[in-house]
Amino acid sequence: MTVPSVPPTLSGKRPSKLFKNWMAKMASLPMILTALVVFVGGTAWTVTYSFTGSRMLPRTKWVGLDQYERLWSSDRWMISITNLGIYGICSLILTLFIGFTLAACLDRKIRFEGVFRSIFLYPFALSFVVTGLAWQWILNPDFGMQSVVRDWGWTAFNFDPLNNPDIVMFGLLIAGIWQGSGLIMCIMLAGLRGIDEDIWKAAKVDGIGTVKTYIMVVIPMMRPVFVTALVLIAAGIIKLYDLVVAQTGGGPGLSSEVPAKYVIELMFRAQNLGQGFAASTMMLCSVVIILIPWAYLEFGGRKRG
Amino acid sequence: MPTDWNEFTASAGALQEAGILPLAMGQQGWQQNIAFGAITLAVAGQEAWNGVNIDKNADVARGPEYTAAFEAVAAARDLAAESNVQDWNMATNLVITGQAGAQIMGDWAQGEFSVAEQVEGKDYSCLPGLGLNPVIDTGGDAFYFPVNDDPAITAAQKELAALLISPEVQVSFNLAKGSLPVRGDIDMSTANGCMQKGLEILANGGVLPSGDISFSQDTTLQIEDLQAQFWSSDMSAADAQAAYADIIANAD
């Protein structure tokens, strides 16, 4: 005999599902309103106004796709998205790799694990502005790393990425990875701790080497952790702005421009809201393009299975 | 000390041989735009400059005066090639410490010189209009006081405003900063040589409308971006001129 899930009422009707768990629903009402009004509403408003000729203040003067035409013929925008692509791919791969490697090393039951964990996580406590400024000083050729190594004797040592338009994004990458890999390391460590001890013993019995165990057995088991890490890193990549402003100011020239900086400068320095809205709509599109196939794979698959 | 831009570019070779950077330039679009404006005024001349900046005539921007101007700017770019600083005051510092020969910057740079206790006429000097076309581009900061109901606050606002433009404050502020006073009836005889040159130009009516008045912020940003690209790459003068003319054609 099955246990009834809903207690039968006197009148024989089931209580409305709307009022089931009504206290939790009341508590989540502010967040629902915020999400609807601010996130969905604000986004819809921005996308709508990207089709207008708004300058310093929003106006409803319809211009169709003019803002987008100007955006895609602008050198600065093309440089921005190329830079974001380079930074994004490198940051994703390297942060995941470094985070996982550090976590795997820390998980080997070493001494002073807590100390090492704190040291690796400390950079994450710094804001991007502080990170950017500190690394600007470290990478400064006159009193940073280059001059220190030269003082030690290697006078031919050259390390000046921030003044070289071709590799300035890698200078930014160093700072970004230094800041972000601590958090990924901690998430990976938590995931590794969730792996059952028996798996390790079974792998040892089967005679699989340690590195192979990690790659072939453990990583596939940590798929949800990797997805979480991916989302966090991707969010950090898309909103890359304060690190660029603090470390290079977009220079030298325009070689370290990024889309978020384009949006802010066009909206406030150039006082051209329409262009800024068009650029941020394009940023939203790029996120959606990545999100929709992933969501389909994650959630669509289960219905079939 | 060279008396104009042409003499300066001629002497640049000797500076480079002595290991000194001829022209210090911060790698930011607005600074390069100031240099561009100064060189264009000097080389292209007042009429062509008016045609582009006031009338927004793209044909003048494509014309021979501006071709000469862009080539002069390309030459300046070569002179500033080793200048790897970002902020304007870092570039001024290169001149103060003797690592660079010159900088093209607004008169507020004199504030940096006076903090470093350098004396105009002895340690440094200046060439308004690059010695070829003595005019001044004027701009300044503004103070906004919000209207409110409290009479005590309004009285205080008026007192501050009166203080800001009072002769004593104007003299002491501008002597410290190296800029020109906003009122013409005060005694600036204690000002240094550079400021005297500027005051003379002001008195003779050699004043240009500032870029903020001629162009919208949007157009200004586009021009600054073009300058940033031009100065940090080996873009040819012809390409830069063509791009500049396109911006002027769409300018507002």
Span A75-96, pLDDT tens digits: 999 999 999 999 999 999 999 9
Span A214-250, pLDDT tens digits: 888 888 889 889 988 998 898 889 989 999 999 998 8
The verdict on B218 touching A (C-beta cutoff 8 Å) is: yes
Say if A246 falls within a structural domain.
yes
Identify the residue among A63, A83, A163 best suited for mutation to test binding to B, counting B beta carbons within 10 A and taking the highest: A163
Whether A290 contacts A270, CB under 8 Å: no
Distance from CA of B203 to the nearest CA of A (A): 33
Do residues B64 and B173 both lie within one domain?
A: no
Closest residue by Cα to residue A116 from A127, A124, A125, A105: A105
Number of domains in chain A: 1
Say if B145 falls within a structural domain.
no
Do residues B183 and B90 both lie within one domain?
A: no
The whole-number pLDDT of residue A260 equals 95
Query: Which of the listed residues B165, B183, B203 is the one where a domain comes to its end?
Result: B203
Give the span between the Cα atoms of B25 and B33, in whole angstroms: 11
What CATH number is associated with residue A196? 1.10.3720.10
Span B31-68, pLDDT tens digits: 888 888 888 888 888 888 888 888 888 888 888 999 99
CA–CA distances in Å: residue A19 to residues A12, A25, A247, B109, B153 = 17, 9, 53, 70, 55
Do residues B76 and B195 both lie within one domain?
A: no
Which parts of chain B sit beneath pLDDT 50? none
ipTM of the complex: 0.76
Give the span between the Cα atoms of A186 and B219, in whole angstroms: 47
Number of domains in chain B: 2
Do residues B24 and B84 both lie within one domain?
A: yes
The whole-number pLDDT of residue A13 equals 60
Do residues B175 and B80 both lie within one domain?
A: no
DSSP for chain B, please give it.
--SSHHHHHHHHHHHHHTT-EEEE--SSHHHHHHHHHHHHHHHH-HHHHHHHHTT--HHHHTSHHHHHHHHHHHHHHHHTTT----SHHHHHHHHHTTSEEEE---TTHHHHHHHTT--BTTTB---GGGGTS--EE-----------S-HHHHHHHHHHHHHHTSHHHHHHHHHHH----S-SSS--TTS-HHHHHHHHHHHTT-EE--HHHHS-HHHHHHHHHHHHHHHHS---HHHHHHHHHHHHHT--
Do residues B79 and B167 both lie within one domain?
A: no
Say if A225 falls within a structural domain.
yes
- Mean pLDDT, rounded, of chain A: 88
Identify the residue among A61, A73, A74, A75 best suited for mutation to test binding to B, counting B beta carbons within 10 A and taking the highest: A75
Domain range spanning residue A237? 66-304
A168, HSE (Cβ side, Cα atoms, 13 Å):
30
Contacts with A275 from chain B: Cβ below 8 Å: 218
pLDDT band (50, 70, 90) for residue A213: confident
Say if A223 falls within a structural domain.
yes
The verdict on B28 touching A (C-beta cutoff 8 Å) is: yes
The verdict on B236 touching A (C-beta cutoff 8 Å) is: no
Say if B164 falls within a structural domain.
yes
Distance from CA of A269 to the nearest CA of B (A): 7
Q: pTM (2 decimals)?
A: 0.81
Do residues B117 and B133 both lie within one domain?
A: yes
Do residues B232 and B156 both lie within one domain?
A: no
Do residues B211 and B134 both lie within one domain?
A: yes
The verdict on B242 touching A (C-beta cutoff 8 Å) is: no
pLDDT band (50, 70, 90) for residue A2: low
Domain range spanning residue B129? 5-139+207-249
Judged by CB atoms closer than 8 Å, whether chains meet at B27 and A251 is answered as yes
Say if B75 falls within a structural domain.
yes
Do residues B14 and B53 both lie within one domain?
A: yes
Contacts with B220 from chain A: Cβ below 8 Å: 270
Distance from CA of A74 to the nearest CA of B (A): 9
- Quick check: A58 pLDDT over 60? yes
Contacts with B233 from chain A: Cβ below 8 Å: 165, 253
CB atoms within 10 A of CB A110: 9
CA–CA distances in Å: residue A132 to residues A103, A123, B83, B177 = 25, 12, 21, 30
- Quick check: A33 pLDDT over 90? yes
Do residues B126 and B186 both lie within one domain?
A: no
Judged by CB atoms closer than 8 Å, whether chains meet at B86 and A249 is answered as yes
Say if A188 falls within a structural domain.
yes
Contacts with B240 from chain A: Cβ below 8 Å: none
Identify the residue among B217, B227, B239 best suited for mutation to test binding to A, counting A beta carbons within 10 A and taking the highest: B217
List the single residue in A with minimal CA-CA distance to B28. A253
Say if A46 falls within a structural domain.
no
Contacts with B29 from chain A: Cβ below 8 Å: 253-254
Give the span between the Cα atoms of B126 and B114, in whole angstroms: 14
Say if A210 falls within a structural domain.
yes
Say if B146 falls within a structural domain.
no
Distance from CA of B217 to the nearest CA of A (A): 5
- Quick check: A305 pLDDT over 50? no
Do residues B218 and B111 both lie within one domain?
A: yes
pLDDT band (50, 70, 90) for residue A136: very high
A283, HSE (Cβ side, Cα atoms, 13 Å):
25
Span B66-75, pLDDT tens digits: 999 999 999 8
Say if A111 falls within a structural domain.
yes
